[in-house]
Structure 1
Amino acid sequence: MSKDIKIKKGLNINLVGQAEKTTENAIISNFYCVRPEDFHSITPKLVAKAGTKIKAGATLFFNKENEDMKFVSPVSGEVIEIQRGPKRRIDAIKIQADKTQTYVEHGALDLNSDAEKVKAYLLESGCWPFIKQRPYDVVANPANTPKGIFVSGYASAPLAADLDYTLEGKEKELQAAIDVLSKLTSGAVHVSVGKKSNSPLASLNGVELHKVSGPHPSGNVGTLINKVDPINKGEVVWTVNAQDLVIIGELVLTGKFNAERVIAFAGSSVKKPRYFRTKIGSEIATMVYDNGIEKGSNDRIISGNVLSGKHIGPDGYLDYYSNVVTVIPEGDDYEFFGWNKPIFNKISTSRALTFSWLTPNKKFDLNTNTNGEHRAFVTTGTYEEVFPLDIYPMQILKACKYKDLDEMEALGMYEVAPEDFALTEFVCVSKQPHQQIIREGLDLMLKEIG
């Protein structure tokens, strides 16, 4: 039996450019890129040098703090470049893909294996990085036993991929992933779906199902954790993205690491928004220039959604965790007296000369303009209107700013992640970088408390 979760606080941002439910194979990318920065807090130790021939699923690097935690190639081919930054930091590993793909054979996993065998298998195969933990929103520490594992199967972010659609027909892989992950926790595997959805996740065995409704961020896994089983000091929970369950499940059943992913290509700058079948780390150009977006056009390409995604260039690569690529106009123009006239074409939680509240179902064509500049961090009460977690958002942000660890701990820092503050950043009249503030606060706690 499912449990209903109804979210009242939040904000739906309806944008032009939702992906149509048709899927095409993206142009096969010649090059793929894996960036260690996608795995926050990991110190990479390189295994594959430039010129190394590798198979899909072969180890590229491992975590210096835990050598059993391996990070693997999404494709077979040749490592052609190791891009480095300051102090020889590894920024990216670039791979030229083979025309015909070959895979490392790990062998299928016995679904009756115990927790230690499951951990060893996932660590060796490179699927462990798909499991993240809270506190700190980093790759999970395999030495811990979580009190629960959480999967959000409902995407409420603007222009997000429809998980009911992208997971269709993957019931077998999803069930296999749930079967092995359930052995790693002392509690339940909690899965959320939309209240009126027909998600394949809703028919899985061995899960505690929650049907969620309400405005964004009702689909965030952080909202699910807060409403179902909040994290106290000393406790750990793990999270897995819904599409990553498919990769884990396929590995368990076939022994092959298949990094295939269905991506929503969306946004008002996209001529024909739709879904593409591609692989982790593929070139964005294989999708961008096939959709009427001209080279040199004044658009912003985002790997992820518009609230919490990563800005990449047209020559960039799909990051490790994204299942949507969004393209919207760059907001580098300014409106004359834009602060002192009625506004009909923008979204605002305020009713002062703004009228989006009159048309809640209207879709807006927005750009990246912040409509203001960085200013004093003032108390307005607007954060609480869009923040459904049982946490004081303003207080926790300010505690992060002045680095008070005791106060951060008392206010609930253990259960938040940067994406939980994406909406408060959107409505912030002070134009403060909330997600960056939370990330820096979490990093400080990880360093000082661990």
Structure 2
Amino acid sequence: MSREIKIKRGKDIKLVGSAEKIHANGLRSETVALKPSDFIGIRPKMLVKEGDVVKAGTPIFFDKNNEEVKFVSPVSGKIAEIKRGAKRVILEVIITADSEIAYEKYEVGTSLSSDKVKELMLSSGLWPMVRQRPFDVIANPKEAPKAIFISAFDSSPLAPDYDFILHGQSAAFQAGIDAIAKLTTGKVHLNINGATRADEAFTAAKGVQLNKFVGPHPAGNVGVQIHQLEPLSKGETIWFVNPQDVVTIGKFFISGQYDASRIVALAGSEVTNAKYYRTVIGASAKSIFTNNVKEGSNRYISGNVLTGTRIEMDGYLGFYDHQFTVIPENHEPELFGWIMPNFGKWSNSRALFSWLMPNKEYKLDSKMNGEERAFVVTGQYEEVFPFDIYPQQLIKSIMIDDIEAMEELGIYEVAPEDFALCEVVCTSKLPLQSTVRKGLEKLRIESL
């Protein structure tokens, strides 16, 4: 039975530059990259060397901690470069893409067992698309989740519209649902935005529990949805998958090929042609940014402005990202700063006039408007944090490495993205997302 859940705590940050709902013809990405840094907690072991020829679906490296989990090439082509950092840590595997993609072929069927589905997803490189709570890492294939979650909408600033992206892909989405449903004996929760009309790909999906969420960001975060529907206790696991990745999984079980195509939104105030572009996982950002971005000093982001990763103009799309964002780069000091009244500034408090214009879209830049300060109790986190968890106390417990307190305060339910809004409104300017990641990694390593 479906449910409708209203999220009251949170905040929508409305920004200039949302992607127009038009499919634009992007330039072919001449190179793509697989970045081990996209996958928290893995130790990559290379299976190829520079100069090797690969197909889409050819394994590139595997995880030393779990050799079953393989990471494959999104395209066919040649291994151009394996970039390494300090202590020979693998930073990027750069692949020069063919003009016509050739695919590895896998034998799939219509009535596969759960073990066979898991085996195929592991060998074909699909498994990294399945992530888990706790720890917000790639799902452990040796564990059984009590449920699987799919958040069919993203509520973050300038986020892509999955109803638009998945329109016309109902068959592949259903095939993906059918496959991942075999990985759990629990429910598959498909969560849609209750404030808008969802696409038929979601509303007509079979074998799922359809839930509606209404409210401000972070209503679209899967962590918020898990907390409302099936809260996690110590020792329990829940898996989650992005709706575009469900389509990729579905296409594989229809065709037997690893189709890494992905539709990404190009958004931000410094974008001149904010639209949706068809590309592939790990695509070169340069192929999309060229002739689509205003001149000047810009901040290029793979992902959204709250949780995305800063990249260069010739950087690459992150494995779990579905948008590129471009905003102004700004480090210049401002005379009188926040003292001056200004209708062009956004604030969560009533210190500025922005609270009088709730629907105004703002052109915000990368400026921090201050530096890290003493950690003071303000009550700001609770206003935008829709969990029944004490966020400030949890952050403090992580800072002092108090494992018992972390567990009692609910760290197993959260991920860094759940603290993104807290980071925005934080008077102390603390790096809350990296702090949460530090705590999760400590517990994950302790649990090994």
Normalising by structure 2, what TM-score?
A: 0.98
2:152 corresponds to which residue? 153
Instruction: Report the AA paired with residue 69 of structure 2.
Output: M
1:440 corresponds to which residue? 438
Identity %: 48
Cα 1:292/1:327, change in 2 over 3 Å:
closer
1:411 corresponds to which residue? 409
Q: Work out the CA distance in 2 between the residues paired with 1:129 and 1:155.
A: 20
1:142 corresponds to which residue? 141
1:369 equivalenced with 2:367 (yes/no):
yes
What secondary structure sits across from 1:376 in the alignment?
A: coil
Cα 1:303/1:292, change in 2 over 3 Å:
closer
Shift of 1:365: 0.6
1:304 corresponds to which residue? 303
Cα 1:17/1:94, change in 2 over 3 Å:
same
1:266 corresponds to which residue? 267
Shift of 1:152: 0.3
Instruction: Report the AA paired with residue 326 of structure 2.
Output: V
1:53-112 residue CA offsets vs partner (Å, 9 max, x unmatched): 0001100001111111110000000001110011111111011111221000013333x2
2:280 corresponds to which residue? 279
2:65 corresponds to which residue? 65
8 Å CA contact 1:265–1:275 kept in 2: the answer is yes
Instruction: Report the AA paired with residue 344 of structure 1.
Output: F
Shift of 1:27: 0.2
For residues 190-339 of structure 1, the aligned pairs below 5 Å read 190-195=189-194, 196-199=196-199, 200-294=201-295, 297-339=296-338
Shift of 1:233: 0.5
Q: Work out the CA distance in 1 between the residues paired with 2:384 and 2:317.
A: 29
Shift of 1:198: 2.1
Instruction: Report the AA paired with residue 365 of structure 1.
Output: K
What secondary structure sits across from 2:69 in the alignment?
A: strand
Q: After the TM superposition, which parts of structure 1 deviate over 6 Å for at least 4 consecutive aligned residues? A: none
Q: Work out the CA distance in 1 between the residues paired with 2:6 and 2:357.
A: 22
Shift of 1:360: 0.4
Instruction: Report the AA paired with residue 268 of structure 2.
Output: G
1:344 equivalenced with 2:343 (yes/no):
yes
1:104-133 residue CA offsets vs partner (Å, 9 max, x unmatched): 0013333x2221111101001100000001
1:263-311 residue CA offsets vs partner (Å, 9 max, x unmatched): 00000000121110001111101111221434xx200010000000000
Instruction: Report the AA paired with residue 142 of structure 2.
Output: A
Shift of 1:339: 3.0
8 Å CA contact 1:25–1:278 kept in 2: the answer is no
Shift of 1:245: 0.6
1:177 equivalenced with 2:176 (yes/no):
yes
Instruction: Report the AA paired with residue 82 of structure 1.
Output: I
8 Å CA contact 1:383–1:393 kept in 2: the answer is yes
What secondary structure sits across from 1:178 in the alignment?
A: helix
1:56 corresponds to which residue? 56
Q: Work out the CA distance in 2 between the residues paired with 1:271 and 1:409.
A: 46
Q: Work out the CA distance in 2 between the residues paired with 1:75 and 1:107.
A: 19
Instruction: Report the AA paired with residue 315 of structure 1.
Output: D
1:385-443 residue CA offsets vs partner (Å, 9 max, x unmatched): 00001111101111111111100011111111100000000000100001000001100
What secondary structure sits across from 1:108 in the alignment?
A: coil
Cα 1:109/1:43, change in 2 over 3 Å:
farther
Shift of 1:203: 1.3
2:77 corresponds to which residue? 77
What secondary structure sits across from 2:310 in the alignment?
A: strand
1:22 corresponds to which residue? 22
- RMSD of the TM alignment (CA)? 1.0
1:32 corresponds to which residue? 32
Q: Work out the CA distance in 2 between the residues paired with 1:449 and 1:188.
A: 26
Instruction: Report the AA paired with residue 213 of structure 2.
Output: V
Shift of 1:26: 1.3
1:87 corresponds to which residue? 87
Instruction: Report the AA paired with residue 165 of structure 1.
Output: F
Q: Work out the CA distance in 2 between the residues paired with 1:261 and 1:34.
A: 15
Q: Work out the CA distance in 1 between the residues paired with 2:203 and 2:299.
A: 36
Q: Work out the CA distance in 2 between the residues paired with 1:183 and 1:280.
A: 25
Shift of 1:345: 1.4
What secondary structure sits across from 1:339 in the alignment?
A: helix
What secondary structure sits across from 2:299 in the alignment?
A: strand
Shift of 1:220: 0.5
Q: Work out the CA distance in 2 between the residues paired with 1:203 and 1:301.
A: 37
Q: Work out the CA distance in 1 between the residues paired with 2:51 and 2:109.
A: 32
Q: Work out the CA distance in 2 between the residues paired with 1:191 and 1:307.
A: 24
2:385 corresponds to which residue? 387
1:127 corresponds to which residue? 126
Q: Work out the CA distance in 2 between the residues paired with 1:239 and 1:144.
A: 14
1:353-392 residue CA offsets vs partner (Å, 9 max, x unmatched): x111111001001101111111011110010000001111
Cα 1:109/1:438, change in 2 over 3 Å:
farther
1:422 corresponds to which residue? 420
1:189-217 residue CA offsets vs partner (Å, 9 max, x unmatched): 00111112222212100001111111000
1:105 corresponds to which residue? 105
Q: Work out the CA distance in 1 between the residues paired with 2:447 and 2:408.
A: 14
Q: Work out the CA distance in 2 between the residues paired with 1:192 and 1:105.
A: 33
8 Å CA contact 1:75–1:101 kept in 2: the answer is yes
What secondary structure sits across from 2:154 in the alignment?
A: coil
Alignment gaps of 5+ in structure 1: none
